[in-house]
Structure 1
Amino acid sequence: MNCYECVNQGLTSDAVAVCRLCGAAVCTAHVRTEPVQIRESANPGKVVHDRPARQLTCVVCSAAEESR
């Protein structure tokens, strides 16, 4: 699968991830990685996990999230 952003620029690059919001395939140059804390409903024990998870987004969706 090729990177959607690269194809729009007339380039060909292998995709390494899929955007969690729009589903576009993206290469290493166009993927954005953000750490997120995993939270669970209030149960006995831990509610927030010690290690953050990661969420992968494309540059368009990442910019849209940052504009909030």
Structure 2
Amino acid sequence: MKCYECAKNGKDTDAVGICIVCGEGVCKDHLKREKIPDWDGEFDIKLKCIGESCKLKDMQPLLKILCMSCHGALVENK
């Protein structure tokens, strides 16, 4: 998978992660990896608890990967 942002700019860069919100592939230069608060939006996912990690308290504070666009929207809506 290639980085979506790089591809838009004519670059061919491998993605190192996938945005947890939009599913966009991102390289190390186009991602934010941090703890994120609950985010109620029009997405089908719940960021406070995902899949099997819901059952494991130790998994809750894991860092999440976001693309720059989704991170910007999250920060803007805090």
| TM-score interval, normalised by the smaller of the two chains | 0.7 to 0.9
Distance 1:52 1:64 in 2: 21
Richer in helix (by share): 2
Letter matched to residue 30 of structure 2: H
- Equivalent of 2:70, from 47, 61, 68? 61
What is the percentage of aligned positions where both structures have the same residue? Answer: 34
| TM-score when normalising by structure 1 | 0.75
Distance 1:21 1:27 in 2: 16
| TM-score when normalising by structure 2 | 0.66
Distance 1:36 1:61 in 2: 11
Distance 2:70 2:61 in 1: 20
| Deviation, structure 1 residue 52 | 2.9
Count of residue pairs brought into register by the alignment: 60
Dislocated runs of 4+, deviation >3 Å: none
Q: CA RMSD in A?
A: 2.4
Aligned residue in 2 for 1:43: none
* Unmatched 5+ stretches in structure 2: 38-47, 50-56
* Unmatched 5+ stretches in structure 1: 41-47
Given the alignment of the two structures, is residue 22 of structure 1 paired with residue 19 of structure 2, yes or no? no
Distance 2:76 2:68 in 1: 12
Richer in strand (by share): 1
Letter matched to residue 62 of structure 1: H
Distance 2:61 2:36 in 1: 5
| Deviation, structure 1 residue 36 | 4.8
